[in-house]
Chains A and B, each alone.
Chain A
Amino acid sequence: MKRSTILLLTSMLTLSLLVSACGRPDSRADANTVRVGVAFPTSGNLAKIGQSCTRGTQIAADIANAQGKGPKIELDKVDVPTAVAAVHEVNRLILKEDIRVIVGTYASPSSMAASGITERNRAVLWEVAATDPRLTRRGFKYVFRPNPDATMYGPATVRFLEEVVGPKLGLENKEMKMALVHEDGDYGEGVAASTKKAAKKAGIPIVEEIRYNAKATNDLSSAILRLKNSDADIINMVQYDTDAQLFWKQAKQLGLNAKVFIGNGAGQSSDNFGQTFGEGADGVMDTSSANSVHPRALTPEMRKMEQEFQRRYEQKYGQKPDLIATLAFSSAYILFHDVIPKAGGTDPDKIRKAALSLDKPVGSTLVGWGVQFNETGQNTRAAMSVMQWQDGKLVVIYPESFSKSQPQMIPMPEWSERK
Chain B
Amino acid sequence: MIFLQLLISGILIGGVYALISLGLTLIFGVMRIVNFVHGDMLMVAMYFSYWFYTLYSVDNYIGLFLVVPALGLLGALMYRFVIRHAIRRSHEASILVTIGLSIVIQNAALLLWSADYRSIHNEWATRSLQWGDLRISSPLLIAFIVALVVTGILFAFLHRTYLGKAIRAASMDRFAAVLMGVHPQRIFTLSFAIGIALVGVAGALLSSVFAVHPTLGTQFLLVSFVVVVLGGLGSLRGAILGGLLIGVVETTSAYFIGSSMKQLVYLLLFIVILIVKPAGLFGKRIPEVNQ
Interface residues of A (CB under 8 A from B): 42-45, 47-51, 184, 210-213, 215-223, 225-226, 229, 241-242, 245-246, 249-250, 252-255, 270, 272, 275-278, 280
- Complex contact B117–A221 (CB within 8 A): no
Complex Cα distance, B215 from A356, in Å, reads 40
Q: A45-B218, A253-B128 are in contact. List 8 more A-B contacts (CB 8 A).
A: A50-B115, A218-B220, A222-B262, A226-B255, A242-B219, A252-B126, A254-B128, A272-B211
Tell me which residues across on chain A come within 8 A of B252, comparing CB atoms: 222
Known A-B contacts A226-B255, A276-B119, A276-B211; the reply to A213 vs B260 at CB < 8 A is yes
- Complex contact A246–B210 (CB within 8 A): yes
Which chain B residue lies CB-closest to A48?
Answer: B115
- Complex contact A255–B135 (CB within 8 A): yes
- Complex contact A253–B127 (CB within 8 A): yes
Complex Cα distance, B249 from A195, in Å, reads 31
| Chain B interface residue bracket vs A | 35 or more
Sample 6 A-B pairs with CB under 8 A, ordered by A number. A51-B114, A212-B260, A216-B222, A219-B9, A221-B9, A225-B2
Q: Taking the nearest CB of chain B, how far is it from the CB of A216, in angstroms?
A: 6
- Complex contact B263–A216 (CB within 8 A): yes
Interface residues of B (CB under 8 A from A): 2, 5-6, 9, 13, 16, 106-107, 110, 114-119, 121, 125-128, 130, 135, 137-138, 209-211, 213-216, 218-220, 222-223, 247, 250-252, 254-255, 258-260, 262-263
Which chain A residue lies CB-closest to B136?
Answer: A253
Choose among B121, B215, B222 the residue that contacts A44 (Cβ–Cβ < 8 A). B215
- Complex contact B220–A221 (CB within 8 A): no
Complex Cα distance, B219 from A173, in Å, reads 40
Q: Which of B107, B115, B247 has the most chain A CB atoms closer than 10 A to its own CB?
A: B115
Tell me which residues across on chain B come within 8 A of A280, comparing CB atoms: 121, 126
Complex Cα distance, B218 from A212, in Å, reads 17
- Complex contact A211–B135 (CB within 8 A): no
Choose among A225, A245, A252, A254 the residue that contacts B117 (Cβ–Cβ < 8 A). A245
Known A-B contacts A51-B115, A222-B9, A241-B117; the reply to A45 vs B211 at CB < 8 A is no
- Complex contact A225–B255 (CB within 8 A): yes
Choose among B107, B116, B117 the residue that contacts A43 (Cβ–Cβ < 8 A). B107
- Complex contact A221–B260 (CB within 8 A): no
- Complex contact A242–B210 (CB within 8 A): yes
Choose among A48, A213, A222 the residue that contacts B114 (Cβ–Cβ < 8 A). A48
Tell me which residues across on chain A come within 8 A of B135, comparing CB atoms: 253-255
